[in-house]
Amino acid sequence: MEQRRVVITGIGAVTPVGSDALTSWNNIINGKSGIGPMTRVNADEFPAKVAAEVRDFNPEDFIERKDVRKMDRFTHFAVAASLMAVKDANLTIDDHNAHRVGVWIGSGIGGLETLENQFETFLQRGYRRVSPFFIPMMIPDMATGQVSIFLGAKGFNSCTVTACATGTNSIGDAFKVIERGDADVMISGGSEAPITRMSIAGFCANTALSTNPDPKTACRPFDKDRDGFVIGEGAGIVVLEELNHALNRGAHIYAEVIGYGATGDAYHITAPAPEGEGGARAMKMAIDDAGIDPTTIDYINAHGTSTEYNDKYETTAIKTIFGDHAYKMAISSTKSMTGHLLGAAGAVEAIFTVLALKEGILPPTMNLQNPDPNCDLDYVPNEARNQEITYAMSNSLGFGGHNATLVFKKYE
């Protein structure tokens, strides 16, 4: 049987750099950062002072007020981004196709804000005052659940929780669902709202967050002076579609998904494996799945968190897989502007990678002023680059040793 081909026909996003996908993209290629002073929690309580917060977003633009109150912020983002992606794809979901349209949206943390607020209510006022919606607001799969309800999508339905690899794993697994014939369309990505007191406390306690108080320079992937990631929030959603299904309805095609790799480090709960060994295997697996030569990859949207070991070992992993070609590829970390959206990061970065292919513009890595000798590749420093590319890759690496890679091809 001929392998089913999968394309992206719709994109939707809510990010710190824009409340829709194209605004986010235009700000990214213009080097505009969404990082600012932390306002969702009291920054005086923490060593970290900055965050990449979603501003100018009103969930009631997408969801009725009575339903907004029954959802956590991460679900608001997921529903909004999904509705935008489906509208962008000009996709109608009805009784004829609902069973062939699936949803696969992940979240690394889920409704942590709801958990914190409701626990406080429980401590102060007892169990009777806890919301009956507490559990369905908190659990990470509820973004998928609510999106499928909103859209009437009755097909393959799942949720991934793989920390910072969540968005990439979600899209990769949804791609495979279509490829093997279990759905014709999948609405997929990741959503996260982790700027909460306990989340910031936990990341500060394990010294993962940047303590640089200057929003302009706090996130500096691959720079010698990097000192941790900047936490962010938002969602990225893509509409994945079987090629003939898309062509038959005259859909607009952004790019083709051609490869997916996912591996485990089996090494440490938070630190990446030495030399990025697990990430290297994920990249190789994705390239092999795509059936291409490594030297055809033109661009990588790196995980690039601005932490000491991630940036160093991801660079090493790229060199391991690509050899001399590593020095001929362009690589960038858009986290330098969006911050790290944890479970949503890979999905938002997949959208940026696809738009780089379609538009022939490579996003920059901002704040790269003092190059690290261990990070000596072409990171598209400080300014976007006009360059036609044919094959691109997006990497995500998560706590627990999760590594995930997607390979995209320009659709001709």
Tell me the CATH number at 216: 3.40.47.10
Closest alpha carbon to 208 in 276, 278, 271, 165:
271
What's the sign of the alpha-carbon dihedral 272, 278, 279, 282?
Answer: negative
Pair 95, 128 in one domain: yes
pLDDT on residue 2: 76
Question: Considering 197, 219, 248, which residue would you say is the last residue of a domain?
Answer: 248
- Whether residue 142 lies inside any domain: the answer is yes
pLDDT value, residue 3: 87
Q: Which residues of 330-350 are buried (b: 16+ CB within 10 A; e: fewer)?
A: bbbbbbbbbbbbbbbbbbbbb
Q: Is 164 a catalytic residue?
A: yes
Instruction: From the candidates 164, 204, 219, 375, give the one annotated as an active-site residue.
Output: 164
Q: Is 87 inside any structural domain?
A: yes
CA angle 143, 144, 148 (to 5 degrees): 115
324, 354: one domain: yes
Q: Which residue has the tokens 């990010």?
A: 15
The 10s digit of each residue's pLDDT in 171-198 is: 999 999 999 999 999 999 999 999 999 9
In a domain, 54, yes or no: yes
Q: Which residues of the chain have pLDDT under 70?
A: 1
Looking at residue 186, its amino acid is M
Q: Is residue 254 part of a domain?
A: no
Residue 274 in any domain: the answer is yes
- 272 with 217, same domain: the answer is no
Choosing from 248, 277, 304, the residue where a domain stops is: 248
Q: How many domains does the chain have?
A: 2
Q: 288 and 223, same structural domain? A: no
Pair (244, 275) in one structural domain: no
Yes or no: say if 254 and 353 are a contact pair by the CB < 8 Å rule: no
Full domain range(s) for residue 10: 6-248
Instruction: Let me know whether 195 and 294 are in one domain.
Output: no
Quick one: 85 and 147 in the same domain? yes
Structure confidence by residue, pLDDT tens digits, 229-271: 999 999 999 999 999 999 999 999 999 999 999 999 999 999 9
CA distance linking residue 36 with residue 161, whole number of Å: 27
User: How high is the pLDDT of residue 328?
Assistant: 98
